[in-house]
Amino acid sequence: MYLAVAVGGFRRYASYRVATAAGVFTNTVFGLILVYTYLALWEERPGLGGYDQAQAVTYVWLGQCLYATLAIQGGGAEKDLMERIGTGGIAVDLYRPVDLQLWWLAGDVGRAGFQLLGRGVVPFVFGSLLFPMALPAEAAAWAAFAVTLLLAAVVSFGIRYLAALSVFWLMDGRGIGQVLMITGVFFSGMVLPLNAFPDGLGDVVRVLPWAAQLQVPADVLMGEADVWGAFAFQAAWAVALLAAGRLLQSAATRRVVVQGG
């Protein structure tokens, strides 16, 4: 059943062809802007964050590839969930003979799969054709990277699911959506690799769950991280976030009130 839900999520987003094309164009343009900004920065600060220029360029294009895939600024399953909580449609979801959290997770994984293939791959390939990139030649490295992407998708969902459930109390998701956008961009390293953050702040951001979204997959892809340590870090946050979501869901669903009874 959950596989069918994931497939449905994939097919739903595949129907937005014009939006996907616009997203590919946008990510490519932003990728070019960031690449030239990074090249200038790394020219002044060689080895910033432990990266050379080729690694910095790789990081940029990977970020553009994963931006929509991981809904780093929000806009994934949590958006629909917030709306259903606000309108009371969540009551229908609770009546379904399925697990609420797994239902939404499956749909979001399907969405992420399409965004990766439909929107993320083209900018990444485009960048690799125009700029030198630090990409591995071994199949094992790519396989490890694929595992980190799956774990990153679960971590991303865990963060956004907790945010969505807050609407049970807030009654409106617009404010929490803005918080998701700001924290997602800053703490995931979309603007600057977390490795390049100053001491103190860098130590903090690298242990937060957002680091599992972009920084960890990037370091695994470029051979800058211990693979098993990266897996453990991501898996630990995935389990913690899903468990917290389960607890918050239990508390929230005790107070569901639907107009008309």
Per DSSP, the residues of 40-101 read HHHHHSTTGGG--HHHHHHHHHHHHHHHHHTTTTS-SHHHHHHHHHHHTTHHHHHHSSS-HH
Pick from 97, 98, 84: which is nearest to 256 by CA? 84
| pLDDT the model gives residue 75 | 83
Give 28's contacts (C-beta < 8 A, 6+ positions apart). Answer: 64, 122, 123, 126
Tell which residue, 223, 228, 197, 224, has the closest CA to residue 210. Answer: 197
What's the pLDDT score for residue 260? Answer: 43
Please state the rounded mean pLDDT for residues 192-214.
94
So what's the pLDDT on residue 261? Answer: 40
Is a pLDDT exceeding 60 seen at residue 197? yes
85 has a pLDDT exceeding 90: no
Q: How far apart are CA 181 and CA 175, in angstroms?
A: 10
Lowest mean pLDDT among 62-76, 155-169, 243-257: 243-257
- Which of 202, 212, 217 is CA-nearest to residue 238? 212
- Mean pLDDT, rounded, of the chain: 92
When pLDDT is averaged across residues 143-157 and rounded to a whole number, the result is 97
pLDDT tens digits along 25-37: 999 999 999 999 9
In the predicted structure, residue 239 carries a pLDDT above the cut 50: yes
Spans of all domains in the chain: 2-254
Q: What percent of the chain has pLDDT over 90?
A: 75
Does 86 have pLDDT greater than 90?
Answer: no
Q: What percent of the chain has pLDDT over 70?
A: 97
* Stretch among 1-10, 65-74, 251-260 having the lowest mean pLDDT: 251-260
- Cα separation, 55 vs 158, in Å, equals 29
Contacts of 47 (CB under 8 A, 6+ apart): none
Residues 6+ apart with CB under 8 A from 20: 13, 14, 118, 119
> Cα(213)–Cα(199) distance, rounded to whole angstroms?
21
Q: Assign 259 a pLDDT band (cuts: 50, 70, 90).
A: very low
* Pairwise CA distance, residues 163 & 79, whole Å: 10
Q: How much is the pLDDT for 257?
A: 55
pLDDT for the residue numbered 235: 98
